[in-house]
């Protein structure tokens, strides 16, 4: 009478094969997502110009001082955008994101000729707070297609210090 002997190496081998198959599945999903959101046919020649990020006074709605990358929590700041270099056959918007990826300021969406009078895009303090949250703020100028962002055509990063 033969007793069935379990081979522990076979179980480990099958487990490693399952992990490998799962890793390949994740890789294929990542490549598919990349190709979907960064298609090879997209126009890489579109670039919007963020002139700079400056101190901003919400009372006067004016920017002042030099272009900066760091601000204190109690300082207002805004990006200045040059819409003139973009064709009028695209829809764009300019958006500020805080460290938690919350939208804290925006202009648009619209075609560049509609937005030419809105060149100053302030980052607003979140409702219920007195100051900006510390961390990295990203200013993105995005091209939209059917109301969804499909391409970042300009970007600036600023830091709000503690």
Q: What is the CATH number of the domain that holds 65?
A: 2.60.40
The whole-angstrom distance between residue 50's C-alpha and the CA centroid of its chain comes to: 14
pLDDT at 14: 92
Shared-domain flag, residues 64 and 101: yes
Same domain, 27 and 85: no
At CA 142, angle to CA 137 and CA 143, rounded to 5? Answer: 175
Residue 2 lies in a domain: no
- Give the Cα separation of 105 and 41 in Å (integer): 30
| Cα→Cα distances 158→29, 135, 155, Å | 32, 8, 10
Q: Is the pTM of this model over 0.75?
A: no
Pair 18, 123: CB distance under 8 Å: no
Cα–Cα distance between 137 and 126 in angstroms, integer? 13
Q: Residue 95 above 90 pLDDT?
A: yes
Number of domains in the chain: 2
Residues 6 or more apart whose Cβ sits within 8 Å of residue 59: none
Coil, helix or strand at residue 114? helix
40 has a pLDDT exceeding 80: no
Range 71-92 average pLDDT: 93
Name which of 136, 120, 151 is nearest 53 in CA terms: 120
Same domain, 33 and 71: no
- Exposure of 92 in the CB half-sphere (CA atoms within 13 A): 29
Query: Does the structure show a pLDDT above 70 at 24?
Result: yes
Q: Is residue 115 part of a domain?
A: yes
> Residue 78's CB: how many other CB atoms inside 10 A?
24
pLDDT of residue 31: 93
Average confidence score pLDDT of the chain: 90
Q: Domain containing 14: what range?
A: 7-41
Q: Distance (Å, rounded) from C-alpha 103 to C-alpha 96?
A: 6
Rounded to an integer, the average pLDDT of 137-156 is: 92
């Amino acid at each position: 009478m033969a007793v069935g002997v379990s081979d522990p190496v076979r179980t480990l081998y099958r487990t490693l094969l399952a992990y490998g198959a799962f890793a390949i599945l994740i890789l294929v999903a990542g490549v598919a997502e990349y190709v979907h959101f960064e298609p090879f046919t997209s126009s890489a020649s579109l670039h919007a110009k963020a002139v700079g990020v400056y101190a901003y006074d919400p009372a006067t709605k004016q920017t002042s001082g030099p272009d900066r990358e760091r601000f204190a929590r109690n300082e207002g700041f805004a990006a200045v955008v040059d819409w003139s270099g973009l064709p009028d056959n695209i829809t764009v918007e300019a958006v500020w994101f805080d460290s938690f990826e919350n939208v804290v300021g925006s202009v648009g969406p619209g075609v560049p000729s509609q937005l030419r009078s809105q060149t100053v895009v302030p980052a607003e303090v979140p409702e219920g707070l007195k100051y900006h949250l510390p961390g990295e703020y990203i200013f993105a100028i995005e091209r939209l297609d059917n109301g969804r962002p499909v391409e970042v055509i300009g970007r600036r990063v600023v830091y709000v210090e503690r």
